[in-house]
């Protein structure tokens, strides 16, 4: 059975973001096909998509390689996200549905419960889900796609220092949801901008480190994106 190309793309992207493939390292179609248990066709399609997203570059005499972003390029992406997330929140205040609010409130409740109990293992994942849902609530597919791509790239380029006060972060999330629920676009924008700036300050440039070589054994394709 042929595995869809988008699933292969997700798996390769996840492995790039998590550091399985070092920046600048070659991505050989044959080895990738064996690793994920697919033919070369979906691998080739996935590499084209990842090149368009900026994770892969094609070099003469080397073929597909993992991109090597500079610290300046990474800083630009972080600044772009600081501009787009408040825009998404403002639009969410005007376009959100009751279903979006239910999910956002549920995530805030879970996050706050984790903070109270001291079980913070999945707080980063819950936070990523929160911001993903907020972007979806904006009602703009293009804006949501841009923010998703930015989250993937920033997770690849940066290490985020754990918050010393996670409860504060989830209190900010709760305030954002309240503003969105009231339809207050300007307050939603302002609160999200302040939250995004605080979170951005915790980002540290991730230096290049040796990656793990591509193994020849077959691996099932992981269709779940990494949390942001």
Cα distance between residue 24 and residue 56, in whole Å: 9
Between CA 5 and CA 14, with CA 54 as vertex, the angle to 5 degrees is: 50
- 46: Cβ contacts below 8 Å, ≥ 6 apart: 5, 6, 8, 9, 12
Query: Taking 80 as the threshold, does the pLDDT of residue 213 lie above it?
Result: no
Are residues 90 and 187 in contact, defined by beta-carbon separation less than 8 angstroms? Answer: no
Domain with CATH 1.20.120.530 in the chain: 71-205
Alpha helices in 96-184 (DSSP H): 98-117, 123-137, 141-157, 166-182
pLDDT > 90: what percent of the chain? 79
Least confident of 33-47, 142-156, 199-213: 199-213
CATH superfamily of 71-205: GntR ligand-binding domain-like (1.20.120.530)
CB atoms within 10 A of CB 79: 11
Pick the CATH number of 1-68+208-228 from 1.20.120.330, 1.10.10.10, 1.20.1260.10, 4.10.95.10: 1.10.10.10
- Output DSSP code: residue 183: T
Sign of CA dihedral 165, 80, 6, 10: negative
Cα distance between residue 221 and residue 3, in whole Å: 8
Predicted local confidence at residue 119, as pLDDT: 85
Per residue in 63-81, pLDDT tens? 999 999 999 999 999 999 9
Query: Taking 50 as the threshold, does the pLDDT of residue 149 lie above it?
Result: yes
Predicted local confidence at residue 61, as pLDDT: 85
Domain with CATH 1.10.10.10 in the chain: 1-68+208-228
Cα distance between residue 44 and residue 26, in whole Å: 14
Predicted local confidence at residue 219, as pLDDT: 46
Query: Taking 70 as the threshold, does the pLDDT of residue 146 lie above it?
Result: yes
φ and ψ at residue 20, rounded to 5 degrees: -65, -40
Element (H, E) at 207: none
30 exposed, middle or buried (CB, 10 Å; 0-12, 13-18, 19+)? exposed
């Amino acid at each position: 059975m042929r595995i869809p190309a988008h699933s292969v793309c997700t798996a390769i992207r996840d492995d790039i973001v998590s550091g399985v493939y070092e920046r600048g390292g070659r991505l050989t179609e044959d080895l990738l096909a064996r690793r994920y248990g697919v033919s070369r066709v979906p691998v080739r399609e996935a590499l084209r998509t990842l090149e368009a997203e900026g994770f892969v570059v094609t070099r003469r005499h080397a073929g597909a390689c993992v991109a090597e972003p500079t610290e300046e390029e990474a800083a630009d992406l972080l600044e772009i996200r600081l501009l787009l997330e408040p825009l998404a929140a403002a639009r969410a205040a005007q376009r959100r549905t009751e279903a979006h609010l239910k999910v956002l409130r549920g995530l805030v409740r879970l996050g706050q419960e984790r903070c109270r109990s001291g079980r913070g293992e999945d707080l980063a994942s819950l936070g990523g889900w929160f911001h993903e849902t907020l972007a979806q609530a904006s009602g703009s597919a293009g804006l949501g796609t841009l923010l998703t791509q930015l989250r993937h790239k920033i997770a690849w380029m940066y290490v985020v220092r754990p918050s010393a006060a996670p409860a504060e972060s989830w209190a900010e999330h709760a305030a954002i949801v309240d503003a969105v629920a009231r339809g207050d676009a300007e307050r939603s924008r302002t609160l999200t901008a302040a939250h995004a700036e605080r979170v951005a300050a915790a980002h540290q440039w991730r230096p290049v480190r040796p990656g793990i070589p591509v193994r020849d054994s077959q691996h099932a394709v992981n269709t779940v994106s990494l949390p942001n």
